[in-house]
Amino acid sequence: MINQLLLLILSAITHSLSGFNVETVEYKNISFTVWDVGGQDKIRPLWRHYFQNTQGLIFVVDSNDRDRVVEARDELHRMLNEDELRDAVLLVFANKQDLPNAMNAAEITDKLGLHSLRQRHWYIQSTCATSGEGLYEGLDWLSNNIANKG
């Protein structure tokens, strides 16, 4: 039996995405309905329209962009205060770990203020999207933690 999962991926502070992408991905007997809604300023107000029934949230952070990590933190906390996301588990992908000056997971945890999220189940995973490193480990955590909630 395949479990259904609504998943919202927010690519925080990412310039490469120009709009919304929706697709279904199956991983370990879970069908992820993925809403990739990008990170541009002009479309962030539209994110909230995708929050309903979201069980898991993946927040992708550019670990190499030290200038905008505070903006990413503010956007993450603003989003997590939405009623529709109160029960969603949070997976943070600290992306671009292949770059020499990238912040590590501990630094991203600190900069995003993740330890202040006492009422939310969260996890941070170092990733490199171009090589795929860390992606499956993060999805394993997410699928296990959503399955445990259900």
Between the alpha carbon of residue 118 and those of residues 59, 71, 89, 104, 143, the distances in Å are 17, 21, 12, 22, 21
- According to the annotation, is 62 in a ligand binding site? no
Residue type at 112?
Answer: L
Rounded CA separation 68/72 (Å): 6
Q: Is 65 annotated as a binding residue?
A: no
98 annotated as ligand-binding: yes
Annotation marks residue 55 as catalytic: no
Here the tokens at position 8 are: 């919202």
- Identity of residue 66: R
Which residue among the candidates 4, 40, 52, 55 is catalytic per the annotation?
A: 40
- Would you say 111 is a known binding-site residue? no
| 97 marked as part of a ligand binding site | yes
Distance CA 113, CA 110 (A): 5
114-141: burial string, b at 16+ Cβ within 10 Å, e else? beeeeeebbbbbbbbeeeeebbeebbeb
Binding-site residue set:
39, 95-98
What is the set of active-site residues?
Answer: 40
Binding-site residue set for GTP:
39, 95-98
